[in-house]
Amino acid sequence: MALLFPLFIQLSGGIYNSARYVIDSGGVLSTLPLPISIAACVFGILALARDRRQAVPAAVFIAVLAAAMLLSMVFAGENLDIEKRKALLAAQFLLPTMGLVLGQLVRDEEDVIPRAFMWVLILLVPVQLAVGWWQKTLTLTHYFYFFSIYQHFQFVPVIFIAAYCVAMAYLWERHKTLLRCLSVVMGVYAVASASFLAIGLYGGFVVLFFSRKMLGLKTARVASFVAFGLGIVAAILAIGVYYGLAKTNTSVADDNGQYVGKFDTLVEGKLPVNVRDRLGDWALFRNGITENTRTLVFGHVEPLPRAVKTSAHNWYLDFTYSFGLVSLLPMLALIVFTAYLVWRRRKSIAGQTWWLAAMVAFLVLVDSNFKVTLRQPYPGIFAYFLWGLLLSRLRPAPADRPGA
């Protein structure tokens, strides 16, 4: 539950609880909101340390990644000096990888993790929507009065939707009533998040998941598809109504830029401002990467100044700009290794594991190409954790192993 619950702690003053909408902490560690998932991850790894052999692939990946990043820090410049900002950035990239270790240590054959995700969403999401409406905004609020959610537009919505998808995949047959209600709530949440990625993930999952369920029905298949089609039409109409109300009932600062501004330009057939900004950021970092052979292989001596850009809005470009292709190789190898395991065990993989693989692929290959998901502690730990859990599920069961 602590891996998903968006409670943040500041080293300078306890629980992060700011009524002001903070997008960027300015890189000051003492005021940076740190998620409780860091402590949960450390505690989980220590508690399961007796099963450390299960996490060998994760440990090898982290060790090779750290070694490659050290090579970059040493050889990116001509004087073999390590720049302090780059060393801190390396630590930031490495921190979330602890989630991969924890995920591999857990097999979770009793589906405790999906149940924990389900209950966090059931308890928190309706409250967040209700508090936002109380504050006279139809978009998501970050301020809960007792605590605040850091980066509640940028990273949290996709993680919440991914957690919902995992819960649906593993628990649908046991908790249909609860999950039907949660599906409606998460639909409202996705629309209120103003996140194209969250809306796309939710919509794509719901269509594929329920279509697959209805194809498995032996009777009343036509009626089920008609009802499902009518449900989609109703959802589209509800989104239109919600958007129309949001245009005139938004009061929280910056919401118009986050919500109405994005969708207005889309309706007009134009690229939303945030998408245009991303294209510019990608070009800036891509040109920096290909500046010369040294920057391509080992990256730059120091990260791009925060006054210019805080990130590339693309984990791969952001990482390669600072650490070069030599440091990207371990990540590419882990992706290929995971794909190989999925392909090798494709005939024996349970249906729920296929959905888990789809969530990992979305977070690693899609979401991380539009944001620096794997660099941020909260979404990064969660994404790596699901990845580790997938690798754990792809391991043969003890009874299937030779000599068992």
**Over the stretch 80-112, which tens digit does the pLDDT of each residue have?**
667 788 888 999 999 999 999 999 999 888 889
31, two tokens: 């005021």
**pLDDT by residue (tens digit) across 235-287?**
666 666 666 665 565 544 444 455 555 666 665 666 666 777 788 888 888 99
Task: Say if CB 149 and CB 142 are below 8 A apart.
Answer: yes
State how far the alpha carbon of 42 is from the alpha carbons of 14, 108, 163, 319, 349, in Å: 19, 18, 21, 24, 30
Residue 325, number of CB atoms within 10 A of its CB: 17
| Contact (CB, 8 A) for 57 and 391 | yes
Integer Rg of the chain from CA: 22
Q: Which single residue is written with the structure tokens 């620096």?
A: 372
| Residues with Cβ within 8 Å of residue 128, at least 6 apart in sequence | 140, 141, 144, 149, 189
> pLDDT digit string (tens) for 335-382?
999 999 999 998 888 889 999 999 999 999 999 999 999 999 999 999
Cα 57 to Cα 65: distance, rounded to the nearest angstrom? 12
From the list 328, 398, 403, 345, the residue with the least C-alpha distance to 53 is 398
Would you list the domain boundaries of the chain? 8-400
Which range among 3-17, 148-162, 375-389 has the greatest average pLDDT?
375-389
Q: Answer whether residue 6 shows pLDDT above 50.
A: yes
Global pTM reads 0.89
